[in-house]
Amino acid sequence: MSIVLTQDRLKRLMDSGLRGTCRPSERMSQLKKKVNRVDPLAIKRLEQVFFSYADKTRLMILELLADEELCSCEIMAALGLTEPTTSHHIGILERAGLVKSRREGKWVFYRLTDPNAKALLVKGSALVKETM
């Protein structure tokens, strides 16, 4: 949508009285200030975290890791995944900072990095249940 059309729509909204009595240019300035207060690095990090949560396999891995540390072979067995698929999904979770690994000999164990990851799963599940 072009900037002219956007400004026209904003003007019509302001003229309707639904957003107070300020001029469209003032409202645009208010909104731009809000956007400029957002930390771009925090938004990028949040994007990575939500991308990690946006896949059913990764959600199941997070659910498995919510209560205990697991070896990758246990995750594979529980979800019926191949090693490459498991590694792919765990890699995404690690890059997002949600999962940490630890090596013990030839075995690699994974755990959640932060209890807030589990809390987000719980809150997300509650939200889904409320909207059903």
**pLDDT tens digits for 96-116?**
999 999 999 999 999 999 888
Taken in order of first residue, the domains within the chain and their CATH numbers are 3-37 (no CATH), 43-130 (1.10.10.10)
Q: Residue 1's pLDDT band (boundaries 50, 70, 90)? A: low
Per-residue pLDDT tens digits for 54-79: 899 999 999 999 999 999 999 999 99
Residue 12: CB atoms within 10 A of its CB come to 11
pLDDT at position 118 over 90: no
Residue 66's Cβ-count burial label (10 Å; 0-12, 13-18, 19+) is: middle
Asked if residue 10 lies in contact with residue 24, where contact means CB atoms within 8 angstroms, the answer is yes
Q: CA torsion 28→42→60→110, rounded to 10°?
A: 180
CB neighbours of 11 closer than 8 A, spacing ≥ 6? 24
pTM: 0.76
Average pLDDT of the chain, as a whole number = 90
Token pair, residue 59, equals: 């959600």
pLDDT in tens, 10-24: 888 888 888 877 888
